[in-house]
Chains A and B, each alone.
Chain A
Amino acid sequence: MSTSTDIETTYADDAEKVSLWDRIGRPVAPFAWPMVLAGAVILAAGCFLSWSYTDEVLGDLSIDFYPGAVQNLMIIAAVLAVIFALMYRGPFSRLGEWLASATALRVLGLGTTVFMALVIALIGVQAGGLVNVMPGAWISFVGAVLILLGAAGLTPRASKDPLHAHLPSWLEILTIVALLAIVLFGAAYVLDIEDGTVFSLVVLFTGLVAFTLTRAGFFTWVGIIAQTHRRVLMLGAVAVAFLFPFTQDGSDANMSIATQVLIFASTALGLNIVVGLAGLLDLGYIAFLGAGAYVGAMFSHSAFATIGWKPNFLLVVIFGALVSATLGLIIGSPTLRVSGDYLAIVTLAFGEIFRLAMGNLDGQDGPRLTNGPNGIPAIPDLEIGSFNFGETHEVFGITLGRFANYYFLLLVVAAIIITVFTRLNNSRIGRGWIAIREDEKAAEAMGVNTFGLKLFAFAGGAFLAGMAGTIKAHHDVSVTPDQYIFLESAFLLAAVVLGGMGTVAGVLIGATILKLMPEKLRFVADYRLLIFGLLLVLMMRFRPEGLVASKRRQLEFHEEDEELADRVEEVHLVEEQEAKA
């Protein structure tokens, strides 16, 4: 008896869920498809007209037939809407069997409507009243609403599993290359936006497009082809990262942000080994970066350096990494025997001890190593061989400044860390870490050296952070204790959690978001704790596995999801077949 009621309730729930869209969509259902198309055309048409009376808000949106940045975004949205509509019915309908076009259109319609409303509101607020909103904006708004209503009238269909889509491999590779190119030019474009509000709108729109494509199932397919063409993707990503400085033409402003993002991302990737792979919560990780930075500073040619010996920089890098790793061993060996929460508290305290110790080793309270709170300033630029990192260089007629030089060096460091990360993840050690994360006691009974592996993760992570730290010292010019406060550790952890624990791509994205936003947006910088806190809470509620989820992780957070379990199973099968072939 009870079972039958249960079933009925589930049906009732499902019916309710569908009805929200359906109730809106039912009256327009007969002409929903032309409505979407018309909406897209109207949306785009509005973009070619003036949106605002003054040319001072949101870049310049006041000229007819000359779309500004924000208008270009809506043209892209319109093009996407047309493509999805033609997938639903029309010339691309074969493609529509694979992608959930109706669902995507609903997301896109809702997104563009909200976006247009936001833009109109912003014009009203910034220009002083809605009078300043020109007809073009209203036309585009109507277009967006038409897409939304039309999409509601479409019937979502089950799409085929992209796992079975066997496209010619040149097409798959082309897709990867195209996506990477979009990333490269997108990044260059976004970084060049001066206006904070426009920047936010572009970021918002990027999120909207990403979400639309995710709901359409596009990224599932991208994930699969990325897996099959791992080499291409990796080479491509390296090429994109390498080419980025050449898009900046000597501008140091963006390159300095890029190097900061790289330092932050490299450190977060190191932390990801500790947190994401071995499952150890480390709240004092910044201390390891700091240890490396201090070693780098003490052995530098700065007049304030406290150690007279000036070895080769490569030696300093190794030395800094070793000092960090030793600290990791010292702090890890007594604490890693106890369970997670204790470790978190001890590492938190360790981070503070490090900072305070560095603030006191000034010759009065201890040996003169760090100059106390003043730190070690005036660290000269690196010189490796005859290559001075402070100088500007001309390559193919493009100027590469100081920060571009450091960028390339940090790229090498990041590459090393990513290599170590993936190698470890796919190794015997990686399997041991999985077992420890899942059930430490059972892992021990299986013959996993749990203490040894945890200590290895801890010291290994510290080693990599120390390595990055030695370069950071020269990049930052000065090293002081207040650069290594607890908040920095918290941000590193936030980058890992936000991006997706245990993934490389996720942590790179997370680190970029967390470092880039405050740099580009004044108000984010002012309220960054509030904003990042909110962001994390929302993430925990709606996507606890992070922006990019490793398949295994996803299962950890959605155990009840049987469909996902089947998918994981299939992915395993495909991997197995590939391994056999």
Chain B
Amino acid sequence: MSAMLEVRDLVVSYGKIKAVKGISFSVDQGEVVSLIGTNGAGKTTTLRTISGLMRPTSGSIRFMGKRIDDVAAHDIVTLGIAHSPEGRRIFPRLSVEQNLRLGAFARRDNEVGKDLKAVYELFPILEERSQQPAGTFSGGEQQMLAMGRAMMSRPKLLMLDEPSMGLSPIMMKRIMSTVTTLQQQGTTILLVEQNAQAALQRANHGYVLEVGKIVLKGSGKELLTSDEVRKAYLGED
């Protein structure tokens, strides 16, 4: 069986500067795959290219067997990829519910209400404050909203860009355990993180990016125990 998402020799550049220099990886159905790396490694660029917000210079991206590297961003959402962007980018002046409903913008079925309930079940705090402007939320609550909003498009593949950024350890744990819950519910997840420990613990597969290249890959456990990762990301000698 071929992979759900297949990235081949992907090169992405900002003008003359190459941010991603030919990376290949794949995500299988039902997996959690983590991309880890420091600032500027090209993780966010990779996600933005997959979701169609940027165009690759060369290489290919296939989703469920179909090439998507020249498909418009709004069509990619319809195909089943949801992107929870870096920095959450919720709509601060809109209410929580409006935010969530905008997450379902690309859909035209009438089961949005049902999915809204599902998101509220996952994050009860969102239901409590469903009419409150999202900008009044704490960082962790905003992250929950961003994830909930991404789930509202009923994605087959959910891409999370640094969900743990700026969160307290407890809130981070909460978010990461939601990742596992979503996986159990059948969503495939591509997770981009700087926090290697948290990201690799839950990953079936992991890739380590450094300045635009994949320098290491393996199962989550393998990477967690590998010397390079321990030294570079977990601060252990």
Evaluate whether A431 and B102 lie within 8 angstroms (CB atoms) in the complex, with A438-B94, A439-B89, A447-B74 already known.
yes
Evaluate whether A446 and B153 lie within 8 angstroms (CB atoms) in the complex, with A439-B91, A559-B93 already known.
yes
Say if the beta carbon of B220 comes within 8 Å of chain A: no
Contacts of A555 in B (CB 8 A): 93, 133
Contacts of A442 in B (CB 8 A): 85, 89-91
CB contact between B89 and one of A441, A448, A450, A569 (< 8 Å): that residue: A441
Say if the beta carbon of B103 comes within 8 Å of chain A: yes
Contact A559 B102 (CB under 8 A): no
In the bound complex, CA of A431 to CA of B91 (Å): 12
Say if the beta carbon of B53 comes within 8 Å of chain A: yes
In the bound complex, CA of A107 to CA of B135 (Å): 34
Interfacial residues of chain B within 122-136, with CB under 8 A of chain A in the complex: 131-133, 135-136
Say if the beta carbon of A56 comes within 8 Å of chain B: no
Contacts of A444 in B (CB 8 A): 53, 73-74
Contact A448 B91 (CB under 8 A): no
Say if the beta carbon of A284 comes within 8 Å of chain B: no
Say if the beta carbon of A572 comes within 8 Å of chain B: yes
Say if the beta carbon of A341 comes within 8 Å of chain B: no
**C-beta contact mask, B91-103 vs A, less than 8 Å → 1, else 0?**
1111101100111
Evaluate whether A446 and B53 lie within 8 angstroms (CB atoms) in the complex, with A439-B89, A441-B89, A573-B131 already known.
no
Interfacial residues of chain A within 178-212, with CB under 8 A of chain B in the complex: none
In the bound complex, CA of A556 to CA of B89 (Å): 16
From residue B64, how far is it (CB to closest CB) to chain A in Å?
17
B: number of interface residues (CB 8 Å): 31
Interfacial residues of chain A within 400-455, with CB under 8 A of chain B in the complex: 428, 431-432, 434-435, 438-439, 441-450, 452
In the bound complex, CA of A556 to CA of B133 (Å): 11
Contact A445 B85 (CB under 8 A): yes
CB contact between B153 and one of A428, A447, A552 (< 8 Å): that residue: A447
Contact A431 B95 (CB under 8 A): no
Among B53, B76, B90, B94, which residue has the most Cβ atoms of chain A within 10 A? B94
Contacts of A438 in B (CB 8 A): 91-94
In the bound complex, CA of A450 to CA of B77 (Å): 13
Say if the beta carbon of B182 comes within 8 Å of chain A: no
Evaluate whether A569 and B53 lie within 8 angstroms (CB atoms) in the complex, with A444-B73, A445-B73 already known.
no
From residue A504, how far is it (CB to closest CB) to chain B in Å?
21
In the bound complex, CA of A450 to CA of B94 (Å): 18
Contact A447 B89 (CB under 8 A): no
In the bound complex, CA of A406 to CA of B170 (Å): 69
Number of A-B contacts (CB under 8 A): 80
From residue B204, how far is it (CB to closest CB) to chain A in Å?
25
In the bound complex, CA of A555 to CA of B98 (Å): 14
Contact B95 A447 (CB under 8 A): no
From residue A454, how far is it (CB to closest CB) to chain B in Å?
12
Contacts of A524 in B (CB 8 A): none
CB contact between B136 and one of A431, A443, A565 (< 8 Å): that residue: A565
Contact A435 B133 (CB under 8 A): no
Among A431, A442, A443, A447, which residue has the most Cβ atoms of chain B within 10 A? A447
Contact B149 A446 (CB under 8 A): yes
With both beta carbons as reference points, the residue of chain A lying nearest to B76 in the complex is identified as A447
From residue A560, how far is it (CB to closest CB) to chain B in Å?
10
Contact B91 A445 (CB under 8 A): no
In the bound complex, CA of A569 to CA of B95 (Å): 8
Evaluate whether A447 and B53 lie within 8 angstroms (CB atoms) in the complex, with A441-B89, A442-B89, A573-B131 already known.
no
Interfacial residues of chain B within 31-85, with CB under 8 A of chain A in the complex: 51, 53, 72-74, 76-78, 83, 85
CB contact between A428 and one of B76, B78, B105 (< 8 Å): that residue: B105
Contacts of B149 in A (CB 8 A): 446
In the bound complex, CA of A124 to CA of B174 (Å): 75
Say if the beta carbon of A318 comes within 8 Å of chain B: no
Contacts of B135 in A (CB 8 A): 559
Contact B77 A447 (CB under 8 A): yes
Say if the beta carbon of B172 comes within 8 Å of chain A: no
Say if the beta carbon of B171 comes within 8 Å of chain A: no
From residue A26, how far is it (CB to closest CB) to chain B in Å?
39
Contacts of A572 in B (CB 8 A): 95, 97, 131
From residue A321, how far is it (CB to closest CB) to chain B in Å?
28
From residue B75, how far is it (CB to closest CB) to chain A in Å?
8
Contact B77 A446 (CB under 8 A): yes
Say if the beta carbon of A568 comes within 8 Å of chain B: yes
**C-beta contact mask, B132-146 vs A, less than 8 Å → 1, else 0?**
110110000000000
In the bound complex, CA of A573 to CA of B94 (Å): 14
Contacts of B131 in A (CB 8 A): 569, 572-573
B interface residue numbers (CB < 8 A to A): 51, 53, 72-74, 76-78, 83, 85, 89-95, 97-98, 101-103, 105-106, 131-133, 135-136, 149, 153
Per CB-CB distance, the 7 closest pairs between chain A and chain B, nearest first, are: A447-B106, A447-B77, A442-B89, A449-B74, A438-B91, A569-B131, A445-B83
- Further contacts, 11 of them, CB under 8 A, given A438-B92, A572-B97: A431-B102, A435-B102, A444-B53, A444-B73, A445-B77, A446-B103, A446-B105, A447-B74, A555-B133, A565-B133, A569-B133
Q: What are 11 A-B interface contacts by the 8 Å CB criterion?
A: A428-B105, A431-B102, A432-B105, A443-B102, A444-B53, A444-B73, A445-B53, A446-B149, A447-B76, A552-B93, A565-B136
A interface residue numbers (CB < 8 A to B): 428, 431-432, 434-435, 438-439, 441-450, 452, 552, 555-556, 559, 565, 568-569, 572-573
